[in-house]
């Protein structure tokens, strides 16, 4: 109940979204770590070249030390605790900095984490840029940052001073490709759910849709119908639809709705007092409009028609590598082609957003969408140093490699190495 209340305060998050998008993800990660820890922590034997025999070589994971975890506001619980689970599973201590823009959740974490983890291995520091900057001046053994790329640069710069390794979980524009021969009702349901979950404030939410022009109007029709089916004729009254985190983001998004970003097909309504922005779909968007050049991170979905899927792939390839890419198509050849010809943190075929809840799939970006990955074993790897240990027996010592080097030794060594 405390968690639900905090997330309702911060983001108007529906209880079901608290369960599926925050609590369940954390619980699954804990369960996976507890189950797999004996296997993850076990030293791994590796082979030794003949000329070094007799010897034993192994790779031994060890904790990095004290790590800093900096979290964003959109999934303020999950994006703080899931990295923490990995850090603790790998044996580290952690300083955790929740987002000041989700103050209720930040408070909850600051109050409750020390109660549950009472051995002092986790410290929660609350605050915004000023406190984070102060923390970043300290020499940590790893920094795990989730947030936007501008702050990511500051984190990397601060880390460079101490040669601290970083994981950067960043954002960007995640494209969604819709082919011709698809079940448009299914596409509309999955797309509507993925886009408007948490009112579009999801780093891997479909940012825009590249749809085959032959099905553009049919898709628009289905999306409109699905939005009404999900949130009712007036989504302001729906208990299943979230709110924008604060006024700064509310004004950033509503400024885009006032013009220059295409024609509003559905939604477009906003209410400042409750930070509500309707699930909104826009079309006929100019190529240089902000909704097509900046990360949207809110409930606005631009629909862009393309002549075919080759054009869609070209569109994606000519832009920065996204965090996630979605393809709706049953054409196996096209599925293979999209996976092979585009680069992104992840690809989901015929769904969206759900990759985040598969613990065995590493979660992270590539290039401008991020550096490094986590979830499940990938979290353990991120927060571990894999130390190489070579143990050479003493009962036998081949003198071939020692000086003085003569022709006979050289001949033997040539064979051996
Ligand atoms: P943000 O970068 O504004 O804030 C993240 C953290 O950085 C917060 O804890 C904040 O206190 C701190 N911070 C902000 N400004 C700072 C400064 N000048 N100096 C030092 N620290 C500072 O990000 P946000 O707005 O909370 O989150 C939205 C962004 O995060 C989006 O771009 C989204 O795509 C991305 N995101 C990525 C993932 C992912 O898993 N890859 C998940 C969620 C969000």
pLDDT tens digits, 288-310: 999 999 999 999 999 999 999 99
Q: How far is CA 392 from CA 51, 57, 58, in A?
A: 12, 8, 12
pLDDT (mean) for 367-396: 97
**What's the CA dihedral at 222, 227, 232, 235 to 10 degrees?**
-150
Residue 345: is its pLDDT beyond 80? yes
What's the token pair of residue 190? 């999955």
What's the token pair of residue 65? 């030390």
Q: Which ligand 1 atom sits closest to the C-alpha of 99?
A: 9
Contacts of 400 (CB under 8 A, 6+ apart): 409, 412, 413, 416
Question: Is 169 tagged catalytic?
Answer: yes
pLDDT (mean) for 176-188: 97
DSSP state of 320: P
pLDDT at 292: 97
User: 128 and 70 in contact (C-beta within 8 Å)?
Assistant: no
Instruction: Name residue, tokens 């209720």.
Output: 104
Q: Which residues form ligand 1's pocket by a CB distance below 6 Å?
A: 70-74, 79, 97, 99-101, 128-129, 132-133, 146-148, 151, 154, 169-171, 203, 295, 297, 323, 365, 370
Ligand 1: residue of 101, 110, 148, 246 to mutate (most ligand atoms within 8 A of CB) is: 148
pLDDT (mean) for 241-261: 95
Residue tagged active-site, from 169, 174, 176, 295: 169
Share of the chain above pLDDT 70, in %: 100
- How far is ligand 1, taken at its centre, from the CA of residue 152, in Å? 8
Ligand 1: residue of 71, 151, 369 to mutate (most ligand atoms within 8 A of CB) is: 151
Return the beta strands (E) in 64-110 as ranges. Answer: 66-70, 93-97
- How far is ligand 1, taken at its centre, from the CA of residue 309, in Å? 33
- How far is ligand 1, taken at its centre, from the CA of residue 131, in Å? 14
pLDDT at 84: 98
Which pLDDT tens digit goes with each residue over 64-82? Answer: 999 999 999 999 999 999 9
Measured CA to CA, the distance from residue 411 to residue 417 in angstroms comes to 10
pLDDT (mean) for 380-397: 97
Mean pLDDT of the chain, nearest integer: 97
pTM for the full model?
0.96
- How far is ligand 1, taken at its centre, from the CA of residue 297, in Å? 12
Residue 3: is its pLDDT beyond 90? yes
Alpha carbon nearest to ligand 1 atom 26, residue: 72
User: 174 and 326 in contact (C-beta within 8 Å)?
Assistant: yes
Measured CA to CA, the distance from residue 13 to residue 19 in angstroms comes to 10
Name the pLDDT band for 136 (thresholds 50, 70, 90): very high
pLDDT (mean) for 172-200: 97
Alpha carbon nearest to ligand 1 atom 11, residue: 128
pLDDT at 284: 97
User: 40 and 55 in contact (C-beta within 8 Å)?
Assistant: no
pLDDT (mean) for 382-404: 94
Residue 259: is its pLDDT beyond 90? no
Nearest to 356 by CA among 338, 329, 374: 374
Alpha carbon nearest to ligand 1 atom 28, residue: 147
- How far is ligand 1, taken at its centre, from the CA of residue 246, in Å? 14
pLDDT at 177: 98
User: 315 and 175 in contact (C-beta within 8 Å)?
Assistant: yes
Helices 184-196 and 216-231, axial angle in degrees (round to 10):
60
Question: Is 176 tagged catalytic?
Answer: no
Residue tagged active-site, from 22, 29, 174, 203: 203
Residue 267: is its pLDDT beyond 90? yes
Measured CA to CA, the distance from residue 75 to residue 169 in angstroms comes to 13
Residue 213: is its pLDDT beyond 80? yes
- How far is ligand 1, taken at its centre, from the CA of residue 22, in Å? 17
Q: Which ligand 1 atom sits closest to the C-alpha of 172?
A: 34
Q: Which ligand 1 atom sits closest to the C-alpha of 72?
A: 26
Residue 105: is its pLDDT beyond 90? yes
Which pLDDT tens digit goes with each residue over 12-54? Answer: 999 999 999 999 999 999 999 999 999 999 999 999 998 899 9
Ligand 1: residue of 147, 204, 346 to mutate (most ligand atoms within 8 A of CB) is: 147
pLDDT at 417: 79
pLDDT at 399: 82
């Amino acid at each position: 109940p405390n968690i639900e209340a905090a997330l309702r305060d911060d983001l108007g998050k529906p209880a079901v979204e608290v369960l599926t998008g925050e609590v369940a993800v954390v619980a699954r990660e804990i369960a996976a770590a507890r189950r797999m820890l004996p296997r993850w922590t076990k030293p791994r034997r590796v082979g030794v070249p003949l000329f070094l025999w007799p010897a034993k070589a192994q790779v031994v994971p060890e904790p990095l030390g004290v790590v800093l975890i900096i979290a964003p506001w959109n999934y303020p619980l999950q994006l703080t605790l899931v990295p923490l689970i990995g850090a603790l599973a790998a044996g580290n201590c952690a300083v955790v900095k929740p987002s000041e823009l989700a103050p209720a959740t930040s408070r909850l974490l600051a109050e409750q984490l020390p109660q549950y983890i009472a051995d002092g291995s986790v410290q929660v520091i609350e605050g915004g840029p000023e406190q984070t900057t102060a923390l970043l001046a300290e020499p940590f053994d790893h920094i795990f940052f989730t947030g936007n790329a501008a702050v990511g640069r500051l984190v990397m710069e601060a880390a460079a001073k101490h040669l601290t390794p970083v994981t950067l979980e960043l954002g960007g524009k995640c494209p969604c490709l819709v082919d011709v021969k698809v079940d448009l009702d299914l596409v509309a349901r999955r797309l509507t759910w993925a886009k408007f979950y948490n009112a579009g404030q999801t780093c891997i939410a479909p940012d825009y849709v590249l749809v085959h022009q032959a099905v553009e109007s049919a898709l628009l029709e289905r999306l409109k119908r699905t939005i009404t089916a999900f949130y009712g004729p007036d989504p302001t009254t729906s208990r299943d639809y979230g709110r924008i985190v604060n006024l700064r983001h509310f004004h950033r998004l509503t400024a885009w709705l006032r013009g220059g970003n295409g024609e509003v097909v559905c939604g477009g309504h906003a209410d400042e007092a409750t930070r509500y922005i309707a699930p909104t779909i826009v079309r006929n968007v100019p190529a240089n409009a902000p909704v097509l050049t900046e990360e949207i991170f809110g409930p606005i979905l631009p629909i862009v028609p393309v002549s075919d899927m080759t054009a869609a792939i070209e569109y994606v390839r000519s832009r920065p590598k996204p965090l996630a890419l979605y393809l709706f198509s049953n054409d196996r050849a096209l599925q293979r082609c999209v996976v092979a010809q585009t680069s992104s943190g992840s690809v989901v075929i015929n769904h969206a957003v759900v990759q985040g809840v598969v613990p065995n799939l590493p979660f992270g970006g590539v290039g401008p969408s991020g550096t490094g990955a986590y979830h499940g074993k990938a979290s353990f790897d991120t927060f571990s140093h894999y130390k190489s240990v070579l143990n050479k027996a003493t009962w036998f010592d081949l003198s071939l490699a020692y000086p003085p080097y003569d022709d006979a030794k050289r001949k033997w060594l040539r064979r051996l190495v």
